[in-house]
Amino acid sequence: MPSPLLAALLWGTALAQVPAPPPQTPAVAQVVPAVESDSTRILRLQALVEAAEHALEADDEDAAADRADEADVLTADWPLELLKLPEVQALLQRLKDVQDQVGIEEAAETEPGLKAPEEVVTLSGDELRAEQERVKAAEKGATYDYPIDLNDRVLTWVSLFTTTKRGFMENALGRASMYMPMIRQVFAEEGVPADLAYLAVIESGFRNEANSKAKAVGMWQFIRSTGRIYGLNGNAWLEERRDPIKATRAAARYLKRLYQISGDWYLAASSYNAGPLTLDRAIQNVGSRNFWDLARSRWLRTETKNYVPELCAAILVGRNPERYGLRIVPLTPYSYETVAVTSMTSLTVLARCADTDAATLKALNPELLRGSTPPGSYLLRVPPGRAMDCLRQLARMPANKRLDFQNYTIRKGDTLAKVAKRFKLTEEDLLSANDLTAKQFKPGKRLLVPPAPSLALDERDLAAKSAKPKSLGDQPLPPLPVVPRDLAPGEDADKPAPEPRPVPVPPATLAVLPAPVRVRTPTPAIEPPAATRPSEAPAPGPKAKAPAEAPATVRAKPGDTLSKLARTYELSLSELLRLNPEAAKALHPGDEIRLASGATRVKAAPAKVKTAPLAHRVVKGETLAAIARKYDVELGDLRTWNRLKGDRIQVGQKLRVAP
């Protein structure tokens, strides 16, 4: 397709302004499908609908949902004339009946993204005007390549992202700083608006391990059938929907295709959420192609009605989070070198060859589902600067040394603790190597047993603790880069920021980014109070200490109320309400609470925080995020220390809460 016509399809340029394309292009683009081709399409749709109905009769809802998804994808690019045929309309109605029964239309993902099923109550009156003024002040003349309407729905989501959903937004944008240079580069290559990168905030919170109730996977939440269409394959060894680069490329091409079909970026985003067929049915019933008309109708579910306002708000807040009062902890951008692994090799072996650890390799290669590369050749990502050493080590390694796992079949009378002790492993190491839970450890199960560590567990912990201060004292770590942002017109690039921030890294420097580091240098703006850090807790003494002066703000923890915080910091409840009027209706974990100057903490920190425990036993009702807040550690560090792929934990599970 000539470039002028492609630009017209992607950016909505009037076709009348585009030079006439060569004769051969219209001949390809305007071909009317033959009758036989339409008949074949209808037969394929009929087969999928019947298969879904048979699966539903057999109480196999998963298979019915898969066939319904495939039917949605099949009809996504059908012309309107074909969709209006009576036999097609009858099949589509049967398909909708199947979807309603298996609950596809009601499936709403609440974690880890933001696709909430409830209707959002919009702002009104003075609140709406105040929020609009705040957004305009934060923009300061900034330009966006995605259309943004500042109506009440968008302003409501801006308010939510900076108040009740503030903690989610800060964490999501922190993870976004790792992937944003790569996403912007891919979107630019595919001709997709760069601001659409913030779609991943709503879909997954920039988590590669995200899974939804509708069986969508990865940062961009592809279902299996759509993923295969755009080149994302999966098997027992790997799942490419979890690969950040491959999935980003697929998402860009899918969004571009949806825009070519609909001609409107709001409709393209809605199709990404609900499916092209669902949106086309809504357009036919409403008689309008304006998203806001569709959002006021009953033909879209609430999640889709909220989707575009959420996206617009995520772009506004994500482009300039500091102007909305958000504090983002930037991460090192995603960078790597590749090594061609010619045969299946254990990640622990590859980690030794690359002079790193298996957790780092798993983070760079999130598509790998097991503790080794798949059979055959595989292009492995390793930290920058480690590829040549890894290749040299692999070239000298015999084939029988590449897999260092042993096979063991669980016998009657074996327990998890007994088997782990036999092979000089921790229980967590054994379960992680086989992707099992403690309940799945049963007689007859065949295990892959990784090699024992060179040091005993306690000795490894002591060695790590003794080496850490020395390495930090030898030389300081380089500052971490932040999310690159566009300067507003007339804004001085050299103007100092309100708080110390590292130097931004532009997307063009992706290929030469520094290697990821596993320890971040704390900055005064984000450093927790010394009294709450487990690693630096003061030793208990016989004399009572004076109450510590409280910080200007504190984060609410699970179980906190305004009354409890007022007692803790010797403040009156009325004073606390005056400083935090937004918390009067509801107080959520992670909310920032402002305190009066001179407030003092009168309650001592819990004794178990002072003793700096190394492990925690999960009790009923606890979540991984709550445990991270309890011990004042990063959620990502907690996953790394315990080799967790997601946030799922079991009651009674033992977690490491310190390096």
Class of domain 125-324: mainly alpha
What are the boundaries of each domain within the chain? Answer: 1-31, 32-105, 125-324, 334-403, 405-474, 538-604, 609-656
Distance CA 275, CA 292 (A): 17
Q: Which two tokens stand for residue 519?
A: 């320890």
For domain 609-656, which CATH number applies: 3.30.70.100, 3.30.1330.10, 1.10.3470.10, 3.10.350.10? Answer: 3.10.350.10
Residues in Cβ contact with 633 at an 8 Å cutoff, skipping those fewer than 6 apart:
534, 657, 658
- Written as six digits, the tokens of 183 are 């996403």
Residue 110 has pLDDT above 50, yes or no: no
Instruction: Give the model confidence (pLDDT) of 433-489 as tens digits.
Output: 677 888 889 999 988 787 665 334 443 333 333 333 333 333 333 343 333 444 444
Residue 32 per-residue DSSP state? P
> Residue 408: helix, strand or coil by DSSP?
strand
- Other Cβ atoms closer than 10 A to 110: 13
**DSSP symbol at 621:** T
Return the pLDDT at 100: 65
pLDDT of residue 307: 94
Q: What are the CA-CA distances from residue 309 to residues 3, 199, 272, 593, 604 (Å)?
A: 32, 11, 14, 27, 44
Query: Where do the DSSP E strands lie in 43-199?
Result: none
Q: State the CATH architecture for 405-474.
A: Roll (3.10)
- Over the stretch 598-657, which tens digit does the pLDDT of each residue have? 666 654 444 333 444 678 888 887 888 888 878 878 888 888 888 887 778 888 888 888
State yes or no: pLDDT of 570 exceeds 50: yes
* Other Cβ atoms closer than 10 A to 415: 12
What is the rounded distance in angstroms from the CA atom of residue 108 to the CA atom of residue 476? 46
pTM beyond cutoff 0.75: no
**CATH number for the domain whose boundaries are 538-604:** 3.10.350.10
Alpha helices, H only, 435-519: 457-474
Is the CB of residue 144 less than 8 Å from the CB of residue 195?
A: yes
Domain 125-324 matches domain 609-656 at the CATH topology level = no
How much is the pLDDT for 95? 81
